[in-house]
Structure 1
């Protein structure tokens, strides 16, 4: 059995993955799995809430499009996904990967060949973004002239 933190990690990597990259990694695995759609991928909205300074009163920041899906493998294991955006195929593939990652027979292979490459890609993209931001950073300073009383 896998801990809640482990499952949260792999579900976060799947949800944040670029759909084309996930599909390419999935095809390379050449897995043929029979499953049933419990909840076919569907698109909806969710409200985003925020707090000023992370401590203030909560307010509605806006709406965001999400796609969700639920599948069931032949052995009864359920896979779930919620992704940002409107890509139904991506949501269904994420749900299928979630279900298979819960299976001991597939877990290690999927971790090594799917989740780890997606996590490495996301870390690389975050570092690239951080470097771009750092390159455009402007340090402001105030020059004090004499005694202004």
Structure 2
């Protein structure tokens, strides 16, 4: 069975994937599992809290729109998803893929052909963003004048 850390990783990859890229990779697999929604995709708000310096008192940063969904496969097994934003189709697809990733029959296929390519794309985007930020970085230093 999968560990909690593995599931956290694939849930993160699914939730952070752009919906168009996720659908493109999903459609390439040509899977048509039968399922039904236990909890149809719902849109709501989550309150974000922050701390000054990560140790100070909490303060309300603001609200964020989230969409959640829960599906159950006909064979058994449930999948859950929470995504930022208001895309109900994205939330339902993430929940479906989560349920399928928990099934031994489809776990390896989805991991190799869906999760790993999406994770690699996300890592490349992070690398490009970091190099773009690093290119505009300015180092400030202080010169001490001696007498």
Please state which band the TM-score falls in when normalised by the shorter chain: over 0.9
State the match for 2:42 in structure 1: 42
Partners in 1 of 2:49 and 2:76 — Cα distance? 35
1:58 deviation in Å? 1.2
Aligned residue-pair number: 147
State the match for 1:133 in structure 2: 133
- Structure 1 unmatched runs, 5+: none
Alignment of 1:76 onto 2:79: no
Q: How does 1:76-115 map to 2 (within 5 A)?
A: 76-115=76-115
- Structure 2 unmatched runs, 5+: none
State the match for 1:25 in structure 2: 25
Partners in 1 of 2:139 and 2:32 — Cα distance? 55
State the match for 2:124 in structure 1: 124
Q: CA RMSD in A?
A: 0.9
SS at match of 1:14: helix
Partners in 1 of 2:58 and 2:25 — Cα distance? 40
TM-score of the superposition, structure 1-length normalised?
0.95
1:145 deviation in Å? 3.7
TM-score of the superposition, structure 2-length normalised?
0.97
1:60-98 deviations in Å (ceiling 9; x for gaps)? 111101010000001220100000111111000000000
